[in-house]
Amino acid sequence: MSAAQAMTGWIAIAGLGPGDEALVTPEVSAALAGASDVIGYIPYVARIAPREGLVLHPSDNGVELERAAHALELASRGRRVVVVSSGDPGVFAMASAVFEALEAGPAAWRDLDIRVLPGITAMLAASARAGAPLGHDFCAINLSDNLKPWSLIEKRMRLAAEADFAMAFYNPRSKARPEGFARVLEVLREACAPDRLILFARAVTTPEEQLTIVPLNEASAEMADMRTVVIVGSSTTRLVERAAGPILYTPRSAVAAAS
C-alpha cells in the first residue's frame, strides 16, 4: 500500500435500516454516493442502485470474514468501500466482522480510514411500529446457533427472563433449525407468566409488514421466520386497545408499574 493509497482509500460500514428507503440515514446515502465499491450479503447489495463507476460485490451468507477482508484489501488499494448491512451494522452485523478481519490481517490495514455509520435496526423499527415495548430495560439476543452453542443462547435467555428484561430476538426461526424457536417458547413458559405479551414483527417497514401481538400462552413457533423480529415484553409491558389499533408499551418506571 502506498502513502497516496492510504490517504484516498476508506471503508464505511453502513446500516441500510430495516427496509424502507426513507429510513436510510443521510450519512449512509452520502457514503454510498461517494463509493467506488459496495460489498455485502446478496439481498442487501441488491438494494443499491447501479451507477457508472460503482462496482457491486454481492456474496452469500456465512462468508462474513472473507467479505470483510476483501473490503479491507480494496481500501488498502485506494478504493472507497461501503460494506452494507441491514439495520445497524454494529448489531449482529458486519462491523464486528470487519474489525475481526482487521485485527487478524496485515498491520498496514490498521492505518485505514474506517468508519461505522449507524442505521435503524429492526428491533427499534418494530418497537416504534407497535408503540414502545422497549421503553424500559431490555436486551437483544440472536437466536442463531451458527456462531455460539444453543446452551449459551438458552442460558442468556433464561437469565434475561428471570431478570424481567424485555427481550428482542433476532433470527428466531429458519428452515435449517425450525425446532429452535419452539424451544425458546418452552423456556419462556417456564420462566414467565402465561399472559406475558409478545410482538411478532415481520418484514417491518416494507409492503409485506405484519405485526401480531399475543400473550405467551397463544404464541406458536410458526408465527416467526427469519424476516421476523420477536419482542417479548417484561412483566410490566401493557397493551392499550384503541380503534386505530393497539399500542404495546413498557412503562418507564418499574416501581410505578409494579405499584
The helix (run of H) or strand (run of E) holding residue 195 is: none
Residues of 223-243 as b/e, b for ≥16 C-beta within 10 angstroms?
bbbebbbbbbbbbbbbbeeee
- Counted domains in the chain: 2
**Do 135 and 216 reside in the same domain of the chain?**
yes
Q: Are residues 251 and 190 in the same domain?
A: yes
Give yes or no: residues 132 and 65 share one domain. Answer: no
- Segment 174-211, tens digit of pLDDT: 766 777 799 999 999 999 999 999 999 999 999 999 99
pLDDT digits over 36-92, tens only?
A: 999 999 999 999 999 999 999 999 988 999 999 999 999 999 999 999 999 999 999
pLDDT in tens, 123-173: 999 999 999 999 999 999 999 888 899 999 999 999 999 999 999 999 998
For residues 67 and 138, membership in a common domain is answered with: no
Statement to judge: residues 131 and 105 lie in one domain: no
Which residue range is the domain that position 109 belongs to?
3-120
**CB-CB neighbours of 169 under 10 Å:** 25
CB 229 within 8 A of CB 169: yes
Question: Do residues 94 and 16 make contact, with C-beta atoms less than 8 angstroms apart?
Answer: no
Q: Check which CATH number belongs to the domain holding 47 and give it.
A: 3.40.1010.10
75 and 194 in a single domain? The answer is no
132 and 21, same domain (yes or no): no
81 and 163 part of one domain: no
- Asked if residue 132 and residue 235 are part of one domain, the reply reads yes
pTM exceeds 0.95? no
The whole-angstrom separation of Cα 182 and Cα 156 is 16
**69 shares its domain with 81:** yes
User: Contact, 9 vs 112, CB < 8 A?
Assistant: yes
Judging by DSSP bridges, how do beta strands 80-85 and 197-202 pair with one another?
A: unpaired
